[in-house]
């Protein structure tokens, strides 16, 4: 390894109101290195790197880039000088084209007289997309027409078009299918070969151990330990992350399904564009039904359709034998839906934890189903905050000030609070740390044992295999294969039918 | 500094921002009192004036908060108030009943609001688009009504008919009752919670079972009641109505709501009392400028600057309070 430092952070501290996000954090990264940052949600990974990438300023501390004092004015400024960051959630503007997103703030580069040369801009954007291996995205498309993965890939193209020396990949891979992940891994490897630096943030321990040369663990805003490649040990890293040994099993350890015969949700011959192609399925009481496949296989659309958020062009679906026409009817049949795009679809981030949890359960605590008494509302919300151990100042804290895992807990508690019998969970553990993940798996298992039903849509093979009673593998909008829970079921078995 | 101390400090800061509009009102009130004492102005008479001037805007704008909470706005409320008042006055002239006049004012205003919101719902348009169309339509209707009435440029209700209710107490009672009704709906009923959540994130609201179209129709209907009551109070204060009646009310509603600390984007931070605080503050500000004998142009500039300052403060309130996603 060339030992030239590219990134150096010294004694950095940052507070968000009473929350200490960073407390005297110091670390460095070198040329030709992939440095991993790992830690529980809210440990300071995103905060420290986002400060280096110009998103916000630190309260205290110094930063150096290639040995020079570093104080970028903005993310655009940092990117122009060689530090790019791919953020966790969507960072694109929906109503403009992919090309305009890629060259946002740089359209003057494409001016021909008083006009923007859109043809040249589209061509350059397409070149950027092709270069990262996302040529299937057309630069002239409106960004709103893209799914989450393709929006994320267009962000990556935007960053890579500037040829950065340091790239921060912040918990991006879990939002992507294998194809998207391979694109990011390819970029990371290429940067390493070109003697550049990658700072890789992920909650996937296997992934981070495989890809990184060194690994720095943060907890509660402090650096706990840095592991060299030779020192990598999953148990030790986990213990460093959460400050205790992770007891109990991660996934379910039973292989005897308690699912009953009763069908609670039935879809028959569903068709919708190129997303659903004559798809049928049955979900039983007390069953976790996994849905897996590549990102574009239609599984995310299936989740929306089964919650009646999108209507199929053909086919029917019933819940407890009743046809469902909209989300309110689905909720009346005790359904809940945690969407993949958490900050847009599952939460109102500019509202309090209380607002988010109570709005889904108004019918559960309103007197005579209309009158809201603050005391009853508080009792209802506090019970959910406690049950899911949401880390917060109090329930009046705004969701925007929570870490990713705690946001996800709020999204969960909307539906567990109203005691939903059927939950549709689309990538429920995306971007959450292993401690929260384990808590969520335990919650799902508990719900299953109580006779509740879960449709688990996920891009994580291990999660699907570890939690599902049955697993439907989708491809091109169809169910390609049904796999039953078994200790012998492997990721290779699933992947065979996905691709 | 300990975490508890920091939490207390943060809570104090949040409370300070929350109470800023109220403190602004108290400050203006104090300035007005001091000026009144220095310049030997009849204070009870001035208060009566302030109530007379602000009550119509308070009532109409408080209902409009429901629309603003959704992140929408209605540009036609002033024109709607004028049409409601004209038709209410005509109804009185036909029936001789003040109660009928009140019911017609409210009925017409609610009807106009419903047309705006239902049209938007049917054609799947943003509601403010239909309110722009309604503004043109209602402005034309004002001219048609005055022309069709055959009484020159005005429509009049005999002053004697409304003399009994043209007093501060009656107006205050109407205002307090309507405010209580709106506070109850906004803070203690499912409707208010849903409106705030819908305004905060319509996508998430839909996926939480909320019906955005029904909520918009409900918000406009409640705003319509306020506009109708405002129309009725306008007649009691000035029974001679012309095309210029309530000409500034539309803009006053917008300014009052923002002035009272309502976030321009609506959502969870919306407050039902914003309009009342804003309307009274604005009237006090006008009175202060009159007392200081400021030129009306200078007065407008001062108001504009304060308006921008209030929006800036309300928007910067929660800046920097967001962890990176």
ipTM of the complex, rounded to two decimals: 0.85
**A202 lies in which domain range?**
5-82+164-242
Instruction: Dump strand ranges (E) for A126-262.
Output: 166-170, 197-201, 214-219, 222-228
Give the pLDDT of residue A393: 81
Looking at the structure, tell me whether residues A252 and A330 fall in a common domain: yes
Alpha-carbon distance A423 to A450, whole Å?
Answer: 13
- Contact A400/B9, CB-based, under 8 Å? no
- Contact A350/B201, CB-based, under 8 Å? yes
Instruction: Kindly tell me the sign of the dihedral angle through the C-alpha atoms of B94, B98, B100, B101.
Output: positive
Last residue of a domain, one of A418, A440, A460: A418
Contacts of B203 in chain A (CB under 8 A): 344-345
- Contact A21/B318, CB-based, under 8 Å? no
B207: nearest CB among A87, A345, A350: A345
Q: Is residue A29 part of a domain?
A: yes
Looking at the structure, tell me whether residues A63 and A16 fall in a common domain: yes
Which residues are within 8 A (CB) of A51 and not within 5 positions of it... i.e. 6 or more apart?
A9, A12, A14, A22, A57, A58, A63
**Measured CA distances, A419 to A285, A333, A366, A409 (Å):** 14, 11, 15, 15
B324: nearest CB among A50, A345, A414: A50
What is the Cα B87 distance to its own chain's centre?
21
Looking at the structure, tell me whether residues A77 and A191 fall in a common domain: yes
A372: nearest CB among B188, B197, B211: B188
- Contact A348/B322, CB-based, under 8 Å? no
Determine contact, residues A68/A83, Cβ cutoff 8 Å.
no
Looking at the structure, tell me whether residues A374 and A387 fall in a common domain: yes
- Contact B325/A370, CB-based, under 8 Å? no
Select the residue from A300, A350, A413, A426 to test the B interface by mutation, using most B Cβ atoms within 10 A. A350
Alpha-carbon distance A146 to B175, whole Å?
Answer: 50
Looking at the structure, tell me whether residues A175 and A217 fall in a common domain: yes
Last residue of a domain, one of A398, A418, A438: A418
Looking at the structure, tell me whether residues A61 and A182 fall in a common domain: yes
- Contact B197/A351, CB-based, under 8 Å? yes
Looking at the structure, tell me whether residues A286 and A320 fall in a common domain: yes
B10: nearest CB among A18, A46, A349: A18
Distance from CA of B319 to the nearest CA of A (A): 11
- Contact A370/B189, CB-based, under 8 Å? yes
Instruction: Kindly tell me the sign of the dihedral angle through the C-alpha atoms of B40, B43, B45, B48.
Output: positive
- C-alpha closest to that of A246 among A254, A234, A256: A234
- C-alpha closest to that of B223 among B86, B104, B75: B75
Instruction: Dump strand ranges (E) for A285-383.
Output: 288-293, 314-319, 322-323, 335-338
Contacts of B199 in chain A (CB under 8 A): none
Determine contact, residues A11/A222, Cβ cutoff 8 Å.
no
> What tokens were used for A182?
């391979």
Q: What is the dihedral of CA B25, B311, B126, B75, to 10 degrees?
A: 50
Give the pLDDT of residue B323: 39
Give the pLDDT of residue B320: 42
A359: nearest CB among B10, B197, B318: B197
- Contact B208/A360, CB-based, under 8 Å? yes
- C-alpha closest to that of A7 among A25, A31, A23: A31
Domain ranges of chain B: 55-314
Distance from CA of A499 to the nearest CA of B (A): 31
Per-residue confidence in pLDDT tens, chain B, 325 aa: 455 666 666 667 777 777 888 888 899 999 999 998 998 888 888 888 888 889 999 999 999 999 999 998 889 999 999 999 999 999 999 999 999 999 999 999 999 999 999 888 888 888 888 888 999 999 999 999 988 877 778 899 998 998 989 899 999 999 999 999 999 999 999 999 999 999 999 999 999 999 999 999 999 999 999 999 999 999 998 899 988 888 888 888 988 998 888 887 899 989 999 999 999 998 898 888 888 887 777 877 887 887 787 777 766 655 444 433 3
Contacts of A401 in chain B (CB under 8 A): 321-323
Q: Is residue A339 part of a domain?
A: no
Select the residue from B198, B207, B214 to test the A interface by mutation, using most A Cβ atoms within 10 A. B207
Backbone phi, then psi, for A270, in 5-degree steps? -75, 135
> What tokens were used for B312?
């800036």
Give the number of C-alpha atoms closer than 13 A to the C-alpha of residue A423, restricted to the C-beta side.
Answer: 31
Distance from CA of B252 to the nearest CA of A (A): 28
Contacts of A328 in chain B (CB under 8 A): 209-211
Give the pLDDT of residue A420: 95
Distance from CA of B259 to the nearest CA of A (A): 21
Using a CB–CB cut-off of 8 Å, the residues of B that contact A are 3, 6-7, 9-10, 187-190, 192-194, 196-197, 200-201, 203-211, 267-269, 318, 320-325
Give me the CATH topology for the region B55-314. Answer: ABC transporter involved in vitamin B12 uptake, BtuC (1.10.3470)
- Contact B188/A331, CB-based, under 8 Å? no
Of all residues in chain A, the one with the smallest CA distance to B10 is A17
B235-267 residues labelled b (16+ CB within 10 A) or e (exposed)? bbebbebbbebbeebbebbbbbbbbbbbbeebb
Which residues are within 8 A (CB) of A162 and not within 5 positions of it... i.e. 6 or more apart?
A79, A80, A82, A84
Element (H, E) at A279: strand A276-284
Q: Is residue A262 part of a domain?
A: yes
Interface size A-B, in CB pairs within 8 Å, comes to 128
- Contact B267/A398, CB-based, under 8 Å? no
Distance from CA of A406 to the nearest CA of B (A): 12
Contacts of B266 in chain A (CB under 8 A): none
Last residue of a domain, one of A242, A257, A273: A242
Of all residues in chain A, the one with the smallest CA distance to B6 is A18
Looking at the structure, tell me whether residues A234 and A261 fall in a common domain: no
Determine contact, residues A77/A57, Cβ cutoff 8 Å.
no
Give the pLDDT of residue A311: 94
Give the pLDDT of residue B325: 35
Distance from CA of A115 to the nearest CA of B (A): 30
Residues of chain A predicted below pLDDT 50:
1
Total domain count for chain A? Answer: 4
Give the pLDDT of residue A292: 92
Select the residue from B194, B204, B205, B320 to test the A interface by mutation, using most A Cβ atoms within 10 A. B204
- Contact A373/B7, CB-based, under 8 Å? no
- Contact A351/B196, CB-based, under 8 Å? yes
- Contact A348/B3, CB-based, under 8 Å? no
Of all residues in chain A, the one with the smallest CA distance to B320 is A16
Of all residues in chain B, the one with the smallest CA distance to A331 is B209
Looking at the structure, tell me whether residues A404 and A445 fall in a common domain: no
Partners of A293 in the β-ladder: A474
Distance from CA of A429 to the nearest CA of B (A): 15
- Contact B325/A88, CB-based, under 8 Å? yes
**Measured CA distances, B248 to A49, B53, B196, B286 (Å):** 52, 12, 28, 14
Alpha-carbon distance A406 to A436, whole Å?
Answer: 8
Q: Is residue A340 part of a domain?
A: no
> What tokens were used for A14?
């940052």
- C-alpha closest to that of A410 among A452, A359, A335, A471: A359
DSSP A175: G
- C-alpha closest to that of B325 among A23, A152, A383, A300: A152
> What tokens were used for A357?
């949890």
Give the pLDDT of residue A346: 94
Give the pLDDT of residue B100: 96
A327: nearest CB among B197, B209, B325: B209
Looking at the structure, tell me whether residues A136 and A179 fall in a common domain: no
Give the pLDDT of residue A18: 60
Determine contact, residues A330/B209, Cβ cutoff 8 Å.
yes
Select the residue from A16, A17, A319 to test the B interface by mutation, using most B Cβ atoms within 10 A. A17
Of all residues in chain B, the one with the smallest CA distance to A329 is B209
β-pair type (A68-69, A60-65):
antiparallel
């Amino acid at each position: 390894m060339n030992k030239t430092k590219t990134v150096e952070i010294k004694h950095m501290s940052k507070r968000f109101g009473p929350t200490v996000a960073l407390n005297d954090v110091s670390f460095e990264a070198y040329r030709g290195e992939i440095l991993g940052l790992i830690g529980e949600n809210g440990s300071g990974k995103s905060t420290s790197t986002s400060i280096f990438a110009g998103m916000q300023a630190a309260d205290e501390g110094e930063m150096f880039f290639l040995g020079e004092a570093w104080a970028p004015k903005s993310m655009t400024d940092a990117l122009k000088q060689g530090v790019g960051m791919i953020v966790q959630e969507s960072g694109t503007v929906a109503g403009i084209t992919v090309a305009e997103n890629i060259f946002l703030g740089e359209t003057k580069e494409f001016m021909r007289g008083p006009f923007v040369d859109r043809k040249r801009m589209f061509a350059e954007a397409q070149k950027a997309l092709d270069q990262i291996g996302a040529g299937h995205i057309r630069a002239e498309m409106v960004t709103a027409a893209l799914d989450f993965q393709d929006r994320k890939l267009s962000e990556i193209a935007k960053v890579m078009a500037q040829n950065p020396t340091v790239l921060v990949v912040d918990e991006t891979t879990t939002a992507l299918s294998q194809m998207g992940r391979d694109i990011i891994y390819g970029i990371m490897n290429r940067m390493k070969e070109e003697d550049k630096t990658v700072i890789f943030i992920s909650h996937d321990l296997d992934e981070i151990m495989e890809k990184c040369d060194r690994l720095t663990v943060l907890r509660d805003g402090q650096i706990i330990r840095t592991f060299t490649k030779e020192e990598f040990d999953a148990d030790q890293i986990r213990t460093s992350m959460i400050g205790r040994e992770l007891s109990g099993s991660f996934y379910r350890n039973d292989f005897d399904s308690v699912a009953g015969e009763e069908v609670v949700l039935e879809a028959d011959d569903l068709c919708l564009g190129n997303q659903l192609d004559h798809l049928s399925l049955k979900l039983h009481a007390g069953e976790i039904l996994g849905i897996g496949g590549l990102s574009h296989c239609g599984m995310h659309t299936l989740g929306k359709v089964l919650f009646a958020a999108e209507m199929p062009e053909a086919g029917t679906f019933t819940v407890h034998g009743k046809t469902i026409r909209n989300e309110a009817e689905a909720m009346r049949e005790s359904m809940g839906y945690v969407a993949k795009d958490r900050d847009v679809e599952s939460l109102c981030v500019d509202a309090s934890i209380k607002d988010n949890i109570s709005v889904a359960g108004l019918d559960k605590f309103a007197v005579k189903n209309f009158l809201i008494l603050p005391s009853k509302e508080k009792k209802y919300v506090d019970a959910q905050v406690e049950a899911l151990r949401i880390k917060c100042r109090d329930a009046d804290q705004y969701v925007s000030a929570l870490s990713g895992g705690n946001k996800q807990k709020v999204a969960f508690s909307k539906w567990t609070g109203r005691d939903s019998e059927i939950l549709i969970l689309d990538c429920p553990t995306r971007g959450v740390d292993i401690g929260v993940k384990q808590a969520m798996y335990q919650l799902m298992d508990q719900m299953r044992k109580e006779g509740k039903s879960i449709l688990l849509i996920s891009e994580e093979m291990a999660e699907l295999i570890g939690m599902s009673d049955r697993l439907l593998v989708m491809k091109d909008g169809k169910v390609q294969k049904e796999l039953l829970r078994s200790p012998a079921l492997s990721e290779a078995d699933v992947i065979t039918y996905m691709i | 500094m300990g975490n508890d101390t920091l939490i207390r400090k943060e809570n104090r800061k949040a409370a300070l921002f929350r109470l800023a509009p109220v403190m602004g009102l108290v400050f203006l009130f104090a300035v007005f009192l001091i000026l009144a004492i220095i310049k030997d102005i009849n204070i009870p008479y001035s208060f009566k004036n302030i109530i007379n001037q602000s009550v119509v805007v308070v009532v109409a704008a408080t209902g409009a908060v429901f629309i603003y909470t959704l992140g929408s706005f209605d540009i036609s409320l002033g024109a709607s108030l004028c049409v409601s008042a004209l038709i209410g006055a005509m109804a009185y002239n036909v029936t001789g009943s003040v109660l009928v006049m009140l019911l017609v004012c409210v009925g017409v205003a609610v009807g106009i609001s419903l047309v705006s919101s239902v049209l938007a719902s049917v054609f799947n348009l943003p509601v403010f688009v239909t309110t722009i169309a309604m503004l043109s339509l209602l402005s034309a209707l004002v001219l048609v009504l005055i022309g069709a009435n055959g009484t020159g440029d005005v429509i009049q209700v005999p002053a004697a008919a409304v003399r009994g209710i043209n007093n501060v107490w009656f107006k205050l009672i109407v205002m307090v009752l309507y405010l209580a009704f709106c506070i109850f709906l906004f803070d203690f009923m499912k409707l208010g919670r849903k409106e705030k959540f819908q305004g905060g994130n319509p996508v998430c609201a839909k996926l939480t079972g909320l019906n955005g179209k029904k909520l918009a129709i409900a918000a406009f209907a409640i705003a319509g009641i306020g506009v109708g009551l405002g129309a009725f109070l306008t007649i009691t204060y000035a029974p001679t109505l012309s095309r210029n009646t309530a000409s500034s009310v539309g803009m006053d509603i917008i300014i009052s709501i923002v002035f009272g600390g309502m976030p321009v984007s609506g959502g969870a931070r919306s407050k039902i009392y914003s309009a009342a605080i804003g309307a009274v503050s604005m009237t006090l500000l006008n009175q202060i400028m009159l007392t200081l004998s400021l030129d009306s142009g200078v007065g407008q500039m001062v108001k504009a600057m304060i308006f921008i300052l209030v929006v800036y403060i309300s928007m910067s309130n929660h800046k920097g309070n967001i962890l990176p996603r």
